Chains A and B, each alone.
Chain A
Amino acid sequence: MTEREHVGFDWSKVGDTTPRDAAVRFGFGAGVSLGAALAGARFGALAGGLFLAFPAILPATLTLVEEHESTRQARRDCRGAAAGVPGLAAFALVVILVPDSPWISLPLATAAWLVTAVVSYLLWRRVREAFGLDERPLSDRHHHPPHRPPREVGTGFT
């Protein structure tokens, strides 16, 4: 069993964001949001709704994480995103249930997303620990020597 990962926030890393990184993320976000808006305007609200769950942060983040850290870290980000998907569904469910009071439902849906995503992550971590599931050793094979330990970033995690 691996050592339990410490969950938290290292706010000192906020300063690590370069203007280029921010521009890439802003560009992805604006582009996907515009695409969703155009789909909604052209094909209706249901089609527009599809694109509300289109990956916007993830592709930009994966590219930047691989660039600054490693493919292994990018893959971890990807796994976390998969664990966070129930949160997206929880967000949509709250809006479906309370559509007429948006200034209540949107903050409530955001809270539901956060709680569901964190619980889903913690459950998945527990399952991973209980069954000894870990990453396949082939990660980073195209980018780093096979026995090189992952680069430590920040504090308190594997």
Chain B
Amino acid sequence: MSGGLVPLLLKALNGGLIVTLFAVVGQVAQPKRFAGIFSAAPTIALANLTVVVLTVGTTDLRTYAIGMTVGAAGFLAYALGCQRLLDRFGSLPGSAASFVLWFAVALPGYWLVTR
């Protein structure tokens, strides 16, 4: 079952490893604007979907991916808004405050898809 303790831990471990790997690729990429595309890599998707396939099969894969398209719209809002907030507040508060933008787009999008 997808919510069991072992799959949860595997997803967390997988997520940590894949994010670290892509972050290193982003670190060596130049210029910084090009490196940024690696900050929008589907790391969490790869980490989670691999474990989902291994533990419960492909049944929910399509539904996960539909949800991901909505989340991607939220990601765009995050990245666009974060540029402004970085200038105003600096990276840590700015990037933290930008999560509000992700939720502001992703949650109404989720509501629309589930209607």
Q: Which residues of A contact B (CB under 8 A)?
A: 5-14, 16-17, 22, 25-34, 36-38, 40-42, 44-63, 65-67, 69, 71, 73-85, 87-89, 91-93, 95-96, 99-103, 105-106, 109-110, 113, 117-118, 120-121, 125, 138-139, 141-143, 154-158
B87 and A142 within 8 A (CB): yes
Residues of A within 8 A of B48 (CB): 33, 36-37, 40, 48, 52
Identify which of residues 78-115 in chain B touch chain A, using a CB-to-CB cut-off of 8 Å: 78-80, 82-83, 86-88, 90-92, 94-96, 98-99, 102, 106, 109-110, 113-114
Q: Which of B19, B52, B82 contacts A78 (CB 8 A)?
A: B82
A47 and B67 within 8 A (CB): yes
A sample of 19 cross-chain residue pairs with beta-carbon separation below 8 angstroms, ordered by A number, consists of A6-B30, A13-B27, A16-B27, A25-B16, A45-B67, A47-B110, A48-B67, A49-B64, A49-B70, A51-B67, A53-B45, A53-B69, A58-B78, A62-B94, A71-B90, A78-B36, A78-B39, A80-B40, A121-B37
A63 and B38 within 8 A (CB): no
Residues of A within 8 A of B17 (CB): 26, 29
A17 and B27 within 8 A (CB): yes
B71 and A50 within 8 A (CB): yes
Identify which of residues 37-57 in chain B touch chain A, using a CB-to-CB cut-off of 8 Å: 37-53
**How many Cβ-Cβ contacts under 8 Å join chain A to chain B?**
355
Residues of A within 8 A of B109 (CB): 50
Residues of A within 8 A of B33 (CB): 5, 76-77, 79-80, 83, 121, 125
A156 and B30 within 8 A (CB): yes
A6-B31 Cα distance, complex, nearest whole Å:
7
Residues of A within 8 A of B68 (CB): 49-50, 52-53, 88, 91-92, 95
Given contacts A50-B67, A50-B74, A57-B39, contact A65 B18 (CB under 8 A): no
Residues of B within 8 A of A100 (CB): 58, 61
Q: Which of B16, B102, B110 contacts A55 (CB 8 A)?
A: B102
